[in-house]
């Protein structure tokens, strides 16, 4: 991965953010350490997790991913070399954005991550039962205390995002510097339009999740194929749609021209979109990483971007 890092508030992040949702779920600690080591060796520095990962797995309670990452940071002694992003608000026992919830959740995340600061702290889901000024004041307290460096939002409406940014400016509180939207070649309307306009207008960096549509954009999931993966259900729903078929065909065409994997092209398309700083993608094994890291080496031409735009429209 050779592309230059991009600014995200006061942070500087690599072109690929490594998703930590698989750590402690489909990747055990040893596999996770191997993936993290290979990601950093490949030039990556931006690791994304959440306190709720992976509470959906029977026997898990949430925090498993943060614990794995914390153990890795402690064993590698490289805390200052990586940007760690985590999220608050979705853990079953600590749901929502009440100030007391945020305060408890951040301390629990810091303990699991075995660090005294979080680089980027997201509100995982908006909580409309709490006034924006209330939760922003709580987040501002964390920044002032040195527990958090920058704050960001995920799963928020354009209206509430605008309201939050206006409140930060008016009250002199920490402001969101990034947005984590659901965005990829087969899901464009989840970000493009009003939400992307707010991000552009206020200089927010977008860090899209589901960047590969649960693996569909890797090209592994095609009509009639069987793939042994915990995420195959999410991917296969795109395989039988007209848009899904068009997008795969366009990805195959562009990938062949670059001698690259479809996943690399799908990520490169995202990276080329206005406001996008770094798409998020996860790898369960070291073998899956090269195609993801290649996003920093692939520059799409105008006609290739146009082909992908039209296929995904």
- Name the residues annotated as catalytic: 53
pTM value is 0.96
CATH number of 6-214+261-299: 3.20.20.100
Question: Whole-number mean pLDDT of the chain?
Answer: 96
pLDDT band per the 50, 70, 90 thresholds, residue 304: very high
Rounded to whole angstroms, the Cα distance separating 171 from 289 reads: 43
> Which ranges in 114-182 belong to alpha helices (H)?
132-144, 158-171
Q: Give CA separation, 36 vs 128, 168, 188, 252, in Å.
A: 35, 35, 29, 28
Parallel/antiparallel/unpaired status of strands 6-8 and 11-13 = antiparallel
pLDDT at 278 over 80: yes
Cα of first residue to Cα of last residue in the chain, in angstroms, is 29
Q: Give CA separation, 239 vs 247, 248, 269, in Å.
A: 10, 9, 19
Q: Could you read off the pLDDT of 50-70 as tens digits, one per residue?
A: 999 999 999 999 999 999 999
pLDDT of residue 224: 67
**Exposure string for 238-248, b = 16+ CB within 10 A, e = fewer:** bbeeeebebbb
Rounded to whole angstroms, the Cα distance separating 259 from 38 reads: 22
Parallel/antiparallel/unpaired status of strands 176-180 and 205-206 = parallel
Mean pLDDT of 208-227: 87
């Amino acid at each position: 991965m050779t592309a230059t890092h991009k600014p995200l508030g006061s942070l500087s992040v690599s072109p690929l953010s490594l998703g930590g949702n698989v750590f402690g779920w489909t990747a055990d600690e040893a596999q996770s350490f191997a993936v993290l080591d290979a990601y950093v060796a490949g030039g990556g520095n931006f690791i994304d997790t959440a306190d709720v990962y992976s509470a959906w797995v029977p026997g898990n309670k949430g925090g498993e991913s943060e614990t794995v990452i914390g153990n890795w940071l402690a064993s590698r002694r490289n805390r200052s070399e990586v940007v760690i992003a985590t999220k608050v608000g979705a853990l079953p026992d600590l749901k929502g954005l009440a100030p007391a919830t945020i305060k408890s959740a951040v301390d629990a995340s810091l303990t699991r991550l075995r660090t005294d600061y979080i680089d980027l702290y997201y509100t995982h889901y908006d909580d409309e039962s709490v006034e924006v000024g209330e939760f922003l004041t709580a987040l501002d307290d964390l920044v002032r205390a040195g527990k958090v460096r920058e704050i960001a939002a995920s799963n928020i409406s354009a209206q509430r995002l605008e309201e939050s940014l206006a409140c930060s400016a008016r009250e002199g509180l920490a402001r969101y510097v990034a947005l984590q939207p659901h965005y990829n070649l087969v899901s464009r309307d989840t970000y493009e339009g009003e939400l992307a306009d707010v991000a552009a207008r206020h200089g927010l960096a977008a860090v899209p999740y589901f960047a590969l549509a649960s693996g569909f954009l890797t090209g592994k999931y095609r009509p009639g194929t069987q793939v042994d993966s915990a995420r195959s259900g999410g991917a296969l729903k795109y395989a039988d749609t007209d848009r899904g078929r068009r997008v795969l065909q366009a990805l195959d065409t562009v990938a062949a021209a670059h001698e690259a994997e479809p996943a690399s092209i799908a990520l490169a398309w995202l990276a080329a979109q206005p406001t996008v700083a770094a798409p998020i993608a996860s790898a369960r094994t070291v073998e899956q990483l090269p195609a993801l890291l290649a996003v920093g080496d692939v520059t799409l031409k105008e006609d290739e971007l146009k082909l992908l735009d039209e296929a995904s429209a």
